[in-house]
Amino acid sequence: MRFGVCMDLAGDLRNKSLETHLEMIRSSGFDFAEVNLAPLESVSVEEFSQIRSALRRSGLSCPRANCLFPGSFRLVGPGASPAAVVSYLNNVLPKAEALGVQIIALGSGSARRIPDGYDRQAASREFVSCARAIADTAASHHMRIALEHLNPTETNLLTTVKEAVHSTEQVDHPACGFLFDYYHVDLQTDDINQVAAHGDRLLHVHIALPVSRLFPFPEDAAIMEPFFRILQKAGYCDTVSIEGGMRKDFSYEENLQKSMELLKHASLPFSV
């Protein structure tokens, strides 16, 4: 497996912490950075050049991306505009391609939220159609999209792995699969078993501690066991990104180091 860290490259650049954070990620043993795409829409040419240069100097790749659409966007419902989606993608996808992104998580819970009173079946059809168009555009930039399930507090569409898999099947595009997020899955149900049942469509994985959404530490090995076990059953051995909050009583670097220790040791018994 290759392990990465989700980060806001544009925000870190503006906070003057980008190079420091990238170096800490690399020195802690991670393989790549996963970029938050939405903030890249507004970066200047100079800022984007600085981001690319910082990544190149760090030695880290950037094969994965998340947060494709900002929360103000609408992918379903009366406010949805296919033309606006295309215009937005034509701006942000060339930047993702220039960074070396290969797979983009389509989470964007606010953007895909079904408006109150709107027909759910109509919204589902609209989302599938939109996702197909996004996959088609992504493919033209040599990328694929991964539909991400989110918990019901963040959206009301694709709130289970089963729904994400079903939508992937409906999109029916070679550039579309699904993403498994350990934080968002409901461990009180058997939904996690959908990951193993559809491992051939699994493109990427996010990880954080259930409930708290914090970086996992070595003492959390038992909590993380179901995560690595299901990946083994799915035959998955590709990219895993931490998408979570850091523990405030530890430094940025300590969070990275302790999480990498957990990832390396906890994943070994379940290597594919």
Which tens digit of pLDDT belongs to each residue from 171-209? 999 999 999 999 999 999 999 999 999 999 999 999 999
Domain that holds residue 88: 2-270
Model confidence pLDDT, tens digit, residues 15-46: 999 999 999 999 999 999 999 999 999 999 99
Q: How far is CA 198 from CA 2, 70, 177, 202, in A?
A: 20, 29, 10, 7
What CATH number should be reported for the domain holding residue 265?
Answer: 3.20.20.150
Tokens in use for 5?
Answer: 């860290």
Residue that is written with structure tokens 């390396």 in the block = 264
The CA radius of gyration of the chain, in Å to the nearest whole number, is 18
- Structure confidence at residue 272 (pLDDT): 55
Q: Which two tokens stand for residue 158?
A: 């694709």
**Burial of 190 from C-beta contacts in 10 A (0-12 / 13-18 / 19+):** exposed
Q: Tell the residue number behind the tokens 């079904």, with chain if given.
A: 114
pLDDT score at 270: 67
Per DSSP, the three-state class of 245 is: strand
For the chain (length 272 residues), average pLDDT per consecutive 10?
A: 97 98 98 98 97 98 97 95 94 98 98 97 97 97 98 97 98 98 95 96 97 96 93 95 97 98 84 60
Q: According to the model, what pLDDT value does residue 271 have? A: 66
For the chain, the domain total comes to 1
